[in-house]
Structure 1
Amino acid sequence: MPRLFTGLEIPADVAFALSLKRGGLTGARWIDAENYHITLRFIGDVDHVTANEVADSLDRLSNSLSFQLRLTHLGAFGGDKPRALYAGLELNETLTRLQAAQERVLQRAGLPPEGRKFVPHVSLARLRGAAAGDVARFIAEAGRFEPLAFGVGRFVLFSSKDSVGGGPYVVEQTYPLAA
C-alpha cells in the first residue's frame, strides 16, 4: 500500500538556503534538503484502487492559478515538548484556496477529512528530547530570517515509505497550475 500526500516542492536554491540553518540543536534529526517540501494534504496508507482515484481526482485542480510563496520565519511545533523545527510561510490566500480545494476533492473521493488545521511550513528537523528552552534559544540565535521567495507552478502527489519521517519521498504525479 502506498503512503500518499500532496505537496509543493522547494526549489534547490531555497532548499540550500534553508539547509544553512542546520546544526547546533541537541535532539534534532535534520531532514535532507532534497526532501524539503510543503505538505498540502496528508492522505496516508491507501490501496492501489484508492491511490488511482486520488490521482485522477486531483487532475480537476490543474486549472488553479500559479502563485508566489515567501518563507519568513523559523518556528517549532509541540510547545513544551517540541517535536519539529520548521520554516514558516507568509499567509497566502491562493495557497489556502488550493489546499481547501484539495481537501474537498479528496473527501469527495471517499477520504476522511483531515483532522489537523492547515499550517503551511517546511519541516527542517524532527526533534526528540529537545528542551523547549533550547529550541527557543536556537530560533533566537539563528538571527534574522531573510525571507525566501519562490514561484509555485505545480503541486505534486508524493509517496513515502513507512519510516521515521524525513523521506525519502517519491513524486508519483505532478499537476501543473495555470499561469
Structure 2
Amino acid sequence: MPRLFTAIEIPAQVGTTLSMLRGGLTGARWIDPENYHLTLRFVGDVDDVLAREVMYMLGQVRRRAFDLALDGLDQFGGHKPRSVFAAVKSSPALMELRAEQERIMQRLGLSPDRTYKPHVTLARLRDASSRQVADYLATRGYYRSPAFHVPRFVLFSSRDSVGGGPYLVEAAYPLS
C-alpha cells in the first residue's frame, strides 16, 4: 500500500483563489490546485493489514460537518524557508476531528504525530532566500478565503515522489 494520510479536501472555488497566488517566488515548486488539501493525520507507509485497520477505524468516526476558512499566508523553515502555506482559521471542530484521528492511530500502534499546525501547502521551496519569501508574504499574505463547508474527510494515498501529488482518495468518510 502506498503512503497514507487523512485530509480535508479544498473546494475547487477556494483552490482557484489559492492558485492566483502562484508566481513571484524564485525556487518555488507550486502545488497543482487539484492537489490542495489540509492534512489531518499522516499515517505513513503501512502494510495492507494495517491499512485495512486504519480504514475500518476511521469509519467509526462520528463527527458533525463544519465550516472552515483560510486566514493568511506563512512559511515553514524560518531562516531557511521550505514551504509557503495558507493558514487555517482557528476551528474547535477541526481540532477535535484531528485529535480523534490521532487517538485512533496511536491505538493502532502508530507513533504520535508531530506538532500539528493546520495549513494548505501552496509551494515547496528550493533555494529561496528568507528575504524573497518575506517579500512574497508581504505582498500576498493578506489572503483570506470565504468560509467553506467540510462535509467529509478522506484517506489519501500518495506515490513515492518529491511531494505535491498526485493523491488518490482511498476512502471517504462523511461527517453528519
- Mapped to 2, the partners of 1:15 and 1:106 lie a distance apart of 29
**Pairs aligned (count):** 176
SS of corresponding position for 2:168: strand
What does residue 103 of structure 1 align with?
102
Which runs of structure 1 show a deviation greater than 3 angstroms over 4 or more consecutive aligned residues? none
**8 Å Cα contact 1:75-1:86 kept in structure 2:** yes
What does residue 148 of structure 1 align with?
146
**8 Å Cα contact 1:2-1:48 kept in structure 2:** no
Q: Note the 1:1-179 alignment, pairs <5 A.
A: 1-61=1-61, 63-114=62-113, 116-142=114-140, 144-178=142-176
> What amino acid is aligned across from residue 56 of structure 2 in structure 1?
D
Per-residue deviation at 1:148? 2.9
Deviating more after overlay: 103-112 vs 11-20: 103-112
Structure 1 gap segments, 5+ residues each: none
Percent sequence identity is 57
Per-residue deviation at 1:143? 6.0
**8 Å Cα contact 2:72-2:141 kept in structure 1:** no
**8 Å Cα contact 1:72-1:148 kept in structure 2:** no
Structure 2 gap segments, 5+ residues each: none
Residue by residue over 1:87-137, the C-alpha shift from the partner in whole angstroms, topping out at 9 and shown as x without a partner, is: 0011100100000000001111121111x1110000000001100111010
Q: State TM-score, norm by structure 1.
A: 0.96
CA RMSD for the aligned pairs?
0.9
- Mapped to 1, the partners of 2:155 and 2:124 lie a distance apart of 22
